[in-house]
């Protein structure tokens, strides 16, 4: 009887432990996993130094006051987050597309944020001057933000809704049509999903 009782107790304990493990396990779901299932994904936050302030500021004066920008400060506006570096040749190809779309935006349009990563500050600023970029750019010395978004190369573009959810992702050089559709999705909050863009360069190892 004692052995049977011990067996029952052990069985109950095993079932309870198994149930706890299933309930407490955090889902290992990436942004692209969510988008592939037509579900928006929470955009990982960041706070980074400003590399280039936008011209015109378009309602971002208070955001830019301390020369740092966080994603949370942009909540309430659709965001186009573009990952790039000066050493990325395909990035040079897409900058004019981004710049034209940015200049077409009205004062209440989407906020464009270029995120320069794994780069030399002087090289990054020379790149922006050469291509006459006027939208907001921030700088990540490493690639922590890119990794949090699941990006593995450059360029990559993420479309973030007013509520702070990623609704679209273009892997590679973004086209004008993809950019237009992504902005529409960010404005409406509907999920666009994942799209293949043009050329892309693998991220530099950290």
Residue 13: the pLDDT is 42
Cβ neighbours around 16 below 10 Å, total: 10
Residue 22: the pLDDT is 29
Which among 193, 13, 176, 202 is positioned nearest to 95, based on CA atoms? Answer: 176
Residue 203: the pLDDT is 75
- Structural domains in the chain, CATH included, are 28-202 (3.40.30.10)
Residue 206: the pLDDT is 60
Q: Which SS3 state, helix, strand or coil, does residue 58 take?
A: coil
Confirm if 82 and 115 have CB atoms less than 8 A apart: yes
pTM of the model: 0.84
Residue 26: the pLDDT is 36
Kindly tell me the sign of the dihedral angle through the C-alpha atoms of 44, 48, 109, 133: negative
Residue pLDDT tens, the chain, 206 long:
555 544 444 344 443 333 333 233 334 579 999 999 999 999 999 999 999 999 877 888 888 889 999 999 999 999 999 999 999 999 999 999 999 999 998 777 899 999 999 999 999 999 999 999 999 999 999 999 999 999 999 999 999 999 999 999 999 999 999 999 999 999 999 999 999 999 888 876 56
Residue 25: the pLDDT is 34
């Amino acid at each position: 009887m004692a052995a049977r009782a011990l067996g029952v107790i052990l069985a109950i304990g095993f079932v309870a432990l198994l149930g706890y493990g299933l309930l407490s396990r955090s889902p290992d779901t990436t942004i692209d996993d969510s988008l592939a299932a037509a579900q928006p994904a929470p955009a990982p936050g960041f706070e980074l130094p400003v590399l280039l302030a936008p011209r015109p500021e378009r309602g971002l004066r208070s955001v830019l006051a301390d020369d740092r920008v966080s994603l949370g400060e942009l909540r309430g506006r659709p965001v186009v987050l573009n990952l790039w570096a000066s050493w990325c040749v395909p990035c040079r190809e897409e900058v004019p597309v981004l710049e034209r779309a940015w200049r077409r935006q009205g004062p209440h349009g989407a906020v464009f944020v270029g995120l320069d990563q794994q780069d030399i500050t002087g090289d990054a600023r020379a790149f922006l001057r050469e291509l006459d970029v006027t939208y907001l750019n921030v700088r990540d010395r490493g690639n922590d933000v890119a990794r949090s978004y699941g990006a593995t190369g450059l360029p990559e573009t993420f479309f973030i809704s007013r509520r702070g959810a990623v609704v679209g992702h273009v892997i590679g050089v973004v086209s004008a049509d993809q950019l237009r559709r992504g902005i529409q999705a960010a404005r409406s909050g509907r999920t666009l999903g994942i799209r293949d863009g043009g050329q892309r360069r693998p991220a530099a190892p950290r």
